[in-house]
A and B are shown apart, each in its own frame.
Chain A
Amino acid sequence: MKRAPHISRRLLLGGGATLFGLPFLESALPRSARAQEQTAPVRLVYIFLPNGLDMATFRPTTVGADYALPPMFAGLDASKPDFSIITGLENVNARPDMAGDHAAGTSGFITCAHANKSETDIKLGVSADQVAAQKIGMATRLPSLQLGTDGGGATGNCDSGYSCAYARNISWADAVTPLPKIVDPAQAFNQLFEGYDPNASAAETAKRQAYEKSVIDFVLADVNGLSPKLGATDKVKLDQYLTGVRELEKRVIGSGPSAGCTPGAPPPKGSTLDYPGKLKAMMDLIALAFACDATRIVTFMFTNALSQHTHPFLEITSGHHDISHHMNDAGMIGQLAKIGAWEMQQLAYFFDQLKAVPDSVGDQNVLYNSAVFCSSDISDGNRHNHDDMPIVLGGHGGGKLTPGQHISFTPKSRTDPREKVSNLLVTMLETAGVAGARVGDSTGPLTGL
């Protein structure tokens, strides 16, 4: 540890004063788990944007470090050294069987796996964040955290014969287990910091833990009794239950954040926030989670596949998905570009929050020690293509990434093979110390990032 860590005033106030009712203790960091680490951990974040992006205003005109920010990134000069724009990568497994690009593209977003087309027979693959969570997630109170802004529409089929599970979940623990997201900032806060009681004595804490353990031991015995009496498919469900109990056990019986972090007051309920307000609250919460080292792996969905969100604050009152089928109409493309530019501003805000958190190990900030993947389920909303994916890669990966570039993987000729999104995800995992991993159709890490 090189210096006394602290949480900057910028994080406290920039994140909204209501988030942090209590003063952050100077002595709060580092946590005991982290004190033994010689280098700062790399955090992994995966951000989903719906309906593709306007590629004309997303794509820089030149490659390399000297590129000029394209229109979608207007005004983000201060953040430019901290992210790269990546074009030309393909996610071939995100292509659906016939129709269903949005569901297949969302489920394939960071699994790079091909969804089994079915309303009820769900089969996919492990997502990159869960590859990481299964390798390095045990270091923190929550192995990973899934966040979003919308649970999903109330009725109807989600997309062309694909179950809603595919259209709403980007994080998958295994081929049959989607990990739903928390869409209420207050609930996410509880998930991160529940059980924290700064005033509890050691004896009180020990008793609470003994009580929680007795409840959890009881249900674990139930699982053991039930398992031999179930068929194979039922056992899969029971295994999902068991995994959940194990994580619960770790969270409620483990030492909790009281070992060194004062999270402050919870954020407001999601139902009191509009869409931009909820996005902001969630991004602030991710920064707080990293500051408290409550988790190191987060997925975050702006709405869901096929979002019909309106953007009245941009004076856009048509549904987002309708607009994305722009049919080269200048007016609709203009609206789509405007939404994209606003989304990039949100991303820059997020980068600012991470950058404002000094890391407890080393002399860098949390953004430096992060790798943030931001993309969509498709490339162009009108073409529904899954090649040439629009990708922003934020953070320095603890020094293993070289942001500030436009990196184009677009092949020289049409017949050349395309480089894969999955290989970028593998490269991200390597920055976090997860070496030799596979994600979907990956073949190995990319160079030049």
Chain B
Amino acid sequence: MGFSALAACTGNVAGGPQKAGTPPGASGSGVGGIGNIASGGSSAVAATDPGRVTLHRLNRAEYNNTVHDLLGTSKTPAEDFPIDDRGNGFDNMADVLTLSPLHLSVYHAAAKALVSEALSNASQRAAIMTCDLAQEDACARQILQEFAYRAWRRPVADAELDRLLAVVGVAKANGDSAEVGLGLALRAILLSPHFVFRVELDPDPTSLAPHALSGYELASRLSYFLWSSTPDSALLASAESGALGDPSTLKEQAARLLADERARAIVDNFAGQWLHLRAVDTLEPDHTLFPSVDAPLLRAMRAETELLFRDIAFQANPLMQLLTANYSYLNDRLAAHYGLPAVGSTELTRVDLSGNAQRGGFLTQASFLTLTSHVNRTSPVLRGKWVLDELLCATVPPPPPDVNLAGVSMAKEQGLTQRQALEVHRADPNCNSCHQLMDPIGLGLENFDAVGVYREMDAGKPIDANGQLPSGEAFVGAKELAARIAVKPEFARCAAHKLYSYALGRPPVATAGHLDGPTLDALARGLTTNDFSFAQLVEQIVTSPTFTSRRGEPEGDMP
């Protein structure tokens, strides 16, 4: 649940704007696309259910970041782990992060390699060996207590320490040194479920009554949201003192984490998946048609959008600038690709675009424009669908089987413009019911070719960049489209929805009585009243009851 597709795409948009049934979230109606989970306004049930997040296995990015921060390693063992399956476009959905025997096998191998490295590398070793192991049990106990505290993100019980020391004892009984035994115990810590899962306990596992997370559990939610990594010592100390339970401390910690370099994870993992940037490096535009597009240029395309997003996440630029920024970051390659003057550097450099009629904002960037194209031609359909899916959270159903996906390319071969080729859709009402929503958006972006180069002609004919949103609003070209979307309440709500789902590691739930609906309402409102501040959106998410509390589940709720 949690989303409604543009079911049959029956909304007759041409009949007029904002009619009931107009799919991508008719403004203010509280129904429609994925970003528009019912607020509960029409329901008499008071919302009190904070929901629950299933035992969350560290995904690949989280594992790599965690062992880096824990051990100071430069190894990235999770690159060899199985790909994490995605749900709702993100690979940190707890329910989808299942475990297989293969996972245990790779964890086992990684723990072995990581501990071996940590004990032989001087600086890594010094951080673990905080006393002289020759002092026997007292020192081993201290080392294991300190390490397990950081690895398990919580204090270690005496009984657990006793069991770890028993592992050390096995090596000694076999005639090996205490250090060999310590290595085994460190491996056990890294293989433990307390390490590979983010454990959140319910005092009464079958009770539906909401309860606050422990300070340590909350610390982990916060650090894995903003850093995709383990809490640092300051955050753990805040949990230990109980201060993190205070909303003002929680806000301070969130701000501190967001200002830290590790918050780069928000760009890599949140923006990287929301905006599909992770896929840019692997694009392969047809080399015969676009010989200048190579790996360095693709990297620059990705970095351009990442830097724009960084300014939003970390420099207090309003979120809507994702679409409307009048500047960008270019290097010489990318500037040449855009037909702009060289910046004099291979590094991406800030360039003022005010007054530039063509460029400015994500919808004019080569990353987006190439991602949403075929290898050899533009696709107004893909571009329109992408805008609806990712910026307005209005899911367009895929075409039914037996459709002529080849029709457009054949039309292109006959020398038609995209606009003419897409008239194929108009002829078939089965196609037109959905394509009337997607195609007119994408057609407005036709001034950019399949790798994002600006053009005025297509198939020898001038490009007509007139477009239309499903609401009926007309626009001309990418910049006008971006300006219109940026002020839409659906955009604010959709962005909030994406970040909220990513923060919790679960999709929002639409059931009556669930706090997700009202929380999303508040987040969307907050965005519009707080000048679209990303930092304030983060603050609002981490202090919401769905982030700070959870509940058990009744018996028989098994999947």
Contact = CB atoms under 8 A, between A and B. Distances in A.
Contacts of A383: 401-402
A301 interface: no
A115 B57 CA distance: 23
A161 interface: yes
Contacts of B405: 322, 325, 327
Contact of A325 (B103, B109, B174, B403): B403
B135 to A, nearest CB: 22
Contact of A229 (B83, B188, B205, B406): B205
A210 B174 contact: yes
A247 B100 CA distance: 10
A98 B404 CA distance: 18
A76 interface: no
Given A99-B398, A219-B193, A325-B404, 18 more contacts: A98-B397, A101-B401, A118-B87, A120-B96, A120-B506, A151-B82, A164-B87, A210-B174, A230-B55, A232-B553, A232-B557, A232-B558, A236-B558, A237-B197, A241-B193, A245-B104, A248-B108, A327-B404
Contacts of A152: 83, 85
Given A180-B83, A231-B205, A233-B558, A238 B55 contact: yes
B282 interface: yes
Interface string A217-241: 0110111001001111110111011
A90 interface: no
B86 A99 contact: no
B41 interface: no
B202 A229 contact: yes
Contacts of A179: 100-102
B192 interface: yes
Nearest to A151: B83
B273 A155 contact: yes
Contacts of A160: 397-398
Given A244-B103, A245-B104, A237 B98 contact: yes
Interface in B83-129: 83, 85-89, 93, 95-96, 98-105, 108-109
A173 interface: yes
B363 interface: no
A122 interface: yes
Interface stretch (B164-172, B320-328, B518-526): B164-172
Given A164-B87, A230-B55, A238 B193 contact: yes
A180 B193 CA distance: 19
B299 interface: no
A154 B279 contact: yes
Q: By CB atoms of chain B within 10 A, which of A175, A177, A219, A329 has the most?
A: A219
Interface string B345-383: 000000000000000000000000000001100000000
A146 interface: yes
Tell me if B's interface is mostly helix, strand, loop or mixed.
Answer: loop
A345 interface: no
A161 B397 CA distance: 9
A122 B101 contact: no
B170 A222 contact: no
Q: By CB atoms of chain A within 10 A, which of B99, B171, B184 has the most?
A: B99
Contacts, number: 234
B344 to A, nearest CB: 32
A119 B205 contact: no
A233 B398 contact: no
Given A218-B192, A322-B405, A382-B401, A120 B95 contact: yes
B291 interface: no
A53 to B, nearest CB: 16
Interface string B187-206: 11001111011010110011
A67 interface: no
Given A120-B507, A214-B184, A215-B187, A230 B101 contact: no
B101 A248 contact: yes
Given A210-B170, A241-B193, A218 B164 contact: yes
Contacts of A230: 55, 201-202, 205
B497 to A, nearest CB: 13
A184 B80 contact: yes
Contacts of B100: 173, 177-180, 240, 244
Question: For chain A, which range describes its interface: under 10, 10 to 19, 20 to 34, or 35 or more residues?
Answer: 35 or more
Interface string A30-64: 00000000000000000000000000000000000
A155 B279 contact: yes
Contact of A231 (B57, B102, B103, B202): B202
Nearest first, the 4 A-B pairs at minimum CB distance are A244-B104, A151-B83, A180-B82, A384-B401
A187 B205 CA distance: 39
B559 A121 contact: yes
Nearest to B183: A211
Contacts of B5: 161
Interface of A: 98-101, 118-123, 146, 151-161, 163-165, 168-169, 173, 175-182, 184, 187, 190-191, 194, 207, 210-211, 214-215, 218-219, 221-223, 226, 229-234, 236-238, 240-241, 243-245, 247-248, 251-252, 310, 317-319, 322, 325-327, 329, 332, 382-384
A25 B382 CA distance: 57
Nearest to B91: A164
B410 interface: yes
B86 A157 contact: yes
A329 B406 CA distance: 8
Given A168-B83, A187-B80, A233-B559, A221 B101 contact: no
A175 B174 CA distance: 43
Nearest to B400: A99
B477 to A, nearest CB: 26
A156 B559 CA distance: 25
Nearest to B397: A99
Contacts of A332: 406
Contact of B104 (A99, A158, A238, A241): A241
A191 B105 contact: yes
A158 B89 CA distance: 8
Q: By CB atoms of chain B within 10 A, which of A99, A176, A191, A244 has the most?
A: A244
Contacts of A181: 82
Contact of B93 (A120, A175, A218, A317): A120
Contacts of A158: 86
B68 interface: no
B54 A237 contact: yes
B397 A163 contact: no
A48 to B, nearest CB: 16
25 contacts: A118-B87, A119-B93, A121-B559, A122-B559, A146-B102, A153-B279, A154-B276, A154-B279, A155-B277, A164-B85, A176-B559, A182-B82, A182-B102, A215-B191, A218-B163, A218-B167, A230-B205, A233-B557, A234-B205, A240-B100, A241-B104, A248-B108, A310-B284, A384-B401, A384-B402
Contacts of B3: 119, 161
B256 interface: no
Given A229-B202, A231-B202, A122 B95 contact: yes
B184 A219 contact: no
Given A214-B167, A236-B559, A325-B405, A231 B52 contact: yes
Contacts of B87: 118-120, 163-165
B286 A215 contact: no
B276 A156 contact: yes
A223 B193 contact: yes
B19 interface: no
B109 A190 contact: yes
B555 interface: yes
Contacts of B384: none
B296 interface: no
Given A191-B105, A231-B52, A325 B282 contact: no
Contacts of A123: 559
A325 B276 contact: no
